[in-house]
Amino acid sequence: MIAILVAVLGTATVFLLGFHETLYGLAAQRFFKWEEDSFKGRPLSELQSNLTHQGRELQPVDADSFYALTDKSLKPNQRAMRFTKGKEYRWFRYGTAINVGYVVAEKEGEVEKVVAIIRARSVDSL
């Protein structure tokens, strides 16, 4: 019984040490607070300005790609953009991953407002 417990703990420790970057990236994508979430309901220009100040930018995403990557559809008065969150990290020795966010903006009169921030991950395998 003790041998099994030691084997399980040893395996878990090796897994944690070997894949700590991957586990941290997964946790950051799912559980950590993203400051971009606070821009929901605010003008898109504020988010864009904040990202530019940090050296990041919003990149346009067409509706078909957005649907393929998120399984969500855009309304006719909406558009989607993408930004990166954090640095690349190893994806279980098969490649690299980076956390990304998709911004859904909707036109309200003359102002485009952020409707949603959708968290995702982009994996580049070997």
pLDDT tens readout for residues 82-108: 999 989 998 887 889 999 999 999 998
Domain ranges of the chain: 2-125
Query: What is the structure's pLDDT at 93?
Result: 78
The whole-number pLDDT of residue 108 equals: 85
**Whole-structure pTM value:** 0.83
Going by the DSSP 8-state scheme, the letter that residue 117 receives in this structure is E
Please check whether residue 122 is in contact with residue 97, taking contact to mean a CB–CB distance below 8 angstroms. yes
- 73 φ, ψ (degrees, to nearest 5): -100, 150
Count other Cβ atoms within 10 Å, centred on residue 105.
23
According to the model, what pLDDT value does residue 126 have? 59
pLDDT by residue, tens only, the chain of 126 residues: 888 887 788 777 776 677 878 888 888 889 999 999 999 999 999 999 999 999 999 999 999 999 998 999 999 999 999 999 989 998 887 889 999 999 999 998 889 999 999 999 988 875
pLDDT of residue 83: 96
Q: With beta carbons less than 8 A apart as the criterion, state whether 21 and 87 touch.
A: no
Q: How far apart are CA 83 and CA 119, in angstroms?
A: 10
Q: What is the pLDDT of residue 19?
A: 83
